[in-house]
Structure 1
Amino acid sequence: MPHTLDRGHMDTSPTDDPIFRPLTINGLTFKNRVIRSSLGGRVDYYDGSMSEGRIAWDLRFARGGVSAIISSNSGIRADGMAVPGYATIDDDRTIPSWRRLVQEVHRYDCRYIIQLHFAGRQRDIPRKDFVDIPPPSATSRPDLLYGLRARRMTIPEIEDLVQDYARAAWRAREAGADGIEIVACNGYILHQFLSSAINDREDEYNGDLRARARLTLEVLKAVRSAVGRDFFVSMKLSGRDEHNAYTAPLVRAVGNTLADTIELSRWLAEAGLDAIHLSQGDSFPHPLVPAGRLPTDDARRLFASLFYEGTRTPLAFLLLQFAPFRRFAEWNWGRRMPFVRGRDLLPDKIEGMNEDDAAKIKEASGLPVICVGGWQSAGRIREALEADRCDTVSIARGLLANPDLVHQFAQGQENPERPCTYCNRCLINVVQYPLACWEEARFDSREQMFHEAYSVYKEAAVGVREV
């Protein structure tokens, strides 16, 4: 059944600031236009059980004033976890813990959206029980960055995966979540099928764009059957693959283009999707996501931890021991990106980097669009909203650096006093260390940086809810 026309209806509550103008989509009202994007470190238990740390973590941002929180990636199956230590939604036993988290977040008039995730070959560190089993994918080829292994899925495996998404969506609704987000971006399983540069199958799940989108549309149909039409369902897409962003001219294939994503967005609207969350890139990390520097000094430790996970990681680890190669890697990472000039980063080019693509997808599909892209200044956010390029923005690193950013905007502050520098140390360190801002220059002292990084564990240990 085609999507109804009121899916992007805006609440008419009077306000002079578009950032604080409520928005209602399919019955779900967001009190303002800032959403915390999927953001969460390894604070849960190895088997996917939720910890007190997860609750304390998400409450930090609910208190900070965001209208909604999109959960960290919640694995729909144990073999689909990108990294252990994240709360999963792979079994009915997880429902009570998710319900408690949702109830705690609701205390701050904040909505909670559970992100349904399956990594496929984009699996950084497998659980011990899957360490010798190549993850299922649309291909048997390894990825370009790490050389992560994969195996091409069979048709019965694909059919099982579709039902796993539906069951996970049902659990999310049973837990009282306000909605779900299906991950179909950044090189994860659905994107592996969508991308012309990754999918190399020779059956009905590959060929033209419609064939490559078959799995994604089947997942959406199954999810809708499980949760009904009155439950918020969004999907996170990559507007552009840029498959060869850091390997050109050795690799020429660019993968899906913006035109492909625009066409896909029309099909998703017809299939009953409520909103599109726009990202970029066909892997994670990728020069387009999160845009910014490649901190190669920190990357040495990352590749050490991934040494045996991919076919390319041993060589990368060895080369990163030498300063000249680290400098080359930093240059190569951003050489084709518009926000890097030589070794200089252009922050103004990062903030709002996806808004033009978001506007085109919004116009073509008629769907509300959530736009990620380095947002952290009130003026830039207002400009994008007033121009109707997107309906709301999502923020990850900017809120990691300043969890109370929305309150700062409400108090009339245009920019955070200590903004995110887009250094990406948070990203590179997350596999081994707590997810936190590791840019020492943003803190008064090294001790303050570590105190902030570990504070969520202290809050969890003493049951702090008001800070």
Structure 2
Amino acid sequence: MTPTPVAAPLELPCGTTLKNRLVKSSTSEGLATPSGGPSNQHLDLYRRWAHGGSGLVVTGGVMVDSEHRGEPGSVVVTDDRHLDMLRSWATAGTVNDTHLWMQLNHPGKQSPRSMNKYPVAPSAVPMAGRIGRYFADPRELTISDIDLIVWRFAYTALIARETGFTGVQIQAGHGYLINQFLSPADNLRTDEYGGDLEGRMRLLVEVYRAVRKKVGDDFPVSVRINASDGVPGGFGEEESLQVAQKLAELGVDVIEVSGGTYATPLMLGDEVDATGDTGEIFFGDQARRVREAVDVPVLVTGGFRCASDVEKGLEDGLGDLIGMARPMVLIPELANDIIVHGDRERVRLPRLTTHIESLDEHSESLVGISWYEMQMDRITDGRAIGGDGLAALWFAAKRHGVRAMFPRR
């Protein structure tokens, strides 16, 4: 019996096979221990997602430098102190023939002032937009700094393989450090890491090559890139296409297409309606262009809410893999609902509010992040999804302290 498109397996260039086309895309969990290690809650959460039916689950961003963290509660892997818990995490997240890939990340200047008073970036360009006041001005990285960052990505990738993760994803989108190097608005360097696109993508190329050398040719390595940063004069669709073609040439296994930064959060879509949904797929047109231009699998994430969305995305050639993030927080078994039952009921993301205007001004960068972290916490001990915006802020303050009360994105 021929499987439906979403249930069909996919063989990657490295020889690994994913059991189906659904991906639980990366979502920041906020569940790490104070020392930056995975917690028992990670095991419970990822075991639940693995049983939920996705062929692939990608972790929240794992920081490759303990001095530079994107937000509170992030896992940090810079040495061998958490090996046992990393193994347990990998074991929990790979049940049910599920692949678990560790996302590798360095935030660059997207590290809030409440966590990092001395952020770094390709150039000393401050964070833009209304959230800029919550971020310290960055220091420009030296060549030796860059060399160390490349090594850190590769080292963390090696730890991922050795502890049982079945792949890694390099975060080169969403305004984090590698994306900052790609953007002509953020990267004003005149050395070999700046200037034209070849120079601006040098860090990404070096990180990919260093990671590949450490993990070998038979281990999946994915890269997430932006379709666009949404910033005038920034990284846009034509350069995104060229970067994708370069990655395919280098031998990447999956290219995930997303978009936006902390200042321009395109990854959250357009203004939602009263039900908390737009009904539109984000980045679909650019993902299709990338897929037509490269000979490696493309993953597209954003706006998929039910079986018909997923089927249409595959049939229309938007991607070889379809990713969901927040919908799978609300319904951890959503992949099974789609693959086994063909569920047509759309997952509605809630419109979040505290009913306090000064707080709702930062409804996504403060309330939204905290609310979804609260739901992941609830999943780990079997509680139902629930709670309003104020409850989410109280949860974040208890877990992360006062720094959680400032916008993080």
- Shorter chain as normaliser: what TM range? 0.7 to 0.9
Matched, 1:18 2:2: no
Q: 2: distance between equivalents of 1:221 and 1:418? A: 39
Matched, 1:179 2:163: no
Q: 2: distance between equivalents of 1:91 and 1:256? A: 33
| Segment of structure 1 superposing worse, 157-166 or 381-390 | 381-390
User: How far did residue 105 of structure 1 move?
Assistant: 2.0
CA 1:437–1:375: 2 relative to 1, 3 Å: farther
Partner of 1:137: 121
Partner of 2:226: 238
Partner of 1:258: 237
Partner of 1:278: 257
Amino acid at match of 1:449: G
Q: 2: distance between equivalents of 1:82 and 1:125? A: 10
Q: 2: distance between equivalents of 1:353 and 1:92? A: 38
Q: 1: distance between equivalents of 2:368 and 2:32? A: 13
Matched, 1:289 2:267: yes
User: How far did residue 193 of structure 1 move?
Assistant: 0.4
CA 1:406–1:359: 2 relative to 1, 3 Å: same
Q: 2: distance between equivalents of 1:221 and 1:375? A: 32
Q: 1: distance between equivalents of 2:253 and 2:55? A: 17
CA 1:86–1:364: 2 relative to 1, 3 Å: same
1:214 pairs with one of 202, 213, 220:
202
Matched, 1:53 2:31: no
Q: TM-score w.r.t. structure 1 length? A: 0.74
Amino acid at match of 1:376: R
Partner of 2:406: none
Partner of 1:5: none
Aligned partners of 1:42 and 1:434 also within 8 Å:
no
Amino acid at match of 2:366: I
| Runs of 4+ in structure 1 over 6 Å off | 343-346
SS for the counterpart of 2:60 is: coil
Aligned partners of 1:400 and 1:436 also within 8 Å:
no
Flag structure 2 segments of 5+ consecutive residues without an equivalent: 354-362, 377-383, 393-409
Amino acid at match of 1:88: V
Partner of 1:121: 109
Partner of 2:65: 77
Q: What do the CA deviations read for 1:331-352 (whole angstroms, capped 9, x no partner)?
A: xxxxxxxx78xx9976222xx2
Matched, 1:369 2:347: no
Partner of 1:306: none
| Segment of structure 1 superposing worse, 352-361 or 115-124 | 352-361
User: How far did residue 436 of structure 1 move?
Assistant: 4.1
Aligned partners of 2:70 and 2:106 also within 8 Å:
yes
Matched, 1:202 2:190: yes
Aligned partners of 2:64 and 2:152 also within 8 Å:
yes
User: How far did residue 85 of structure 1 move?
Assistant: 1.4
Partner of 1:43: 31
1:387 pairs with one of 297, 316, 339:
316
User: How far did residue 291 of structure 1 move?
Assistant: 1.7
SS for the counterpart of 1:414 is: coil
Partner of 1:325: none
User: How far did residue 182 of structure 1 move?
Assistant: 0.2
Partner of 1:463: none
Kindly report which structure 2 residues correspond to 1:344-423, keeping only aligned pairs within 5 A, or say none: 347-349=278-280, 352-416=281-345, 419-421=348-350
User: How far did residue 229 of structure 1 move?
Assistant: 1.0
Aligned partners of 2:104 and 2:168 also within 8 Å:
yes
Partner of 1:435: 373
User: How far did residue 50 of structure 1 move?
Assistant: 1.4
The alignment of Structure 1 onto Structure 2 pairs a total of residues equal to 371
Q: What do the CA deviations read for 1:221-247 (whole angstroms, capped 9, x no partner)?
A: 11111111111000000011211xxxx
Amino acid at match of 1:385: L
User: How far did residue 407 of structure 1 move?
Assistant: 2.0
Aligned partners of 1:374 and 1:398 also within 8 Å:
no
Q: TM-score w.r.t. structure 2 length? A: 0.84
Partner of 2:178: 190
Q: 2: distance between equivalents of 1:227 and 1:78? A: 22
Q: What do the CA deviations read for 1:294-333 (whole angstroms, capped 9, x no partner)?
A: xxxxxxxxxxxxxxxxxxxxxxxxxxxxxxxxxxxxxxxx
CA 1:403–1:432: 2 relative to 1, 3 Å: closer
SS for the counterpart of 1:56 is: helix
Aligned partners of 1:378 and 1:415 also within 8 Å:
yes
Q: 1: distance between equivalents of 2:234 and 2:164? A: 38
User: How far did residue 413 of structure 1 move?
Assistant: 4.2
1:449 pairs with one of 361, 386, 390:
386
Q: Which has the larger radius of gyration?
A: 1
User: How far did residue 427 of structure 1 move?
Assistant: 5.8
Kindly report which structure 2 residues correspond to 1:88-99, keeping only aligned pairs within 5 A, or say none: 88-99=76-87
Aligned partners of 1:83 and 1:126 also within 8 Å:
no
CA 1:195–1:426: 2 relative to 1, 3 Å: closer
Q: What do the CA deviations read for 1:385-412 (whole angstroms, capped 9, x no partner)?
A: 1232200111111111222212222343
Indicate the percent of aligned positions where both proteins have the same amino acid.
28
Compute the RMSD of aligned alpha carbons: 2.7
Q: 1: distance between equivalents of 2:68 and 2:5? A: 39
CA 1:287–1:426: 2 relative to 1, 3 Å: closer
Aligned partners of 2:327 and 2:349 also within 8 Å:
yes
User: How far did residue 38 of structure 1 move?
Assistant: 0.8
SS for the counterpart of 2:41 is: helix
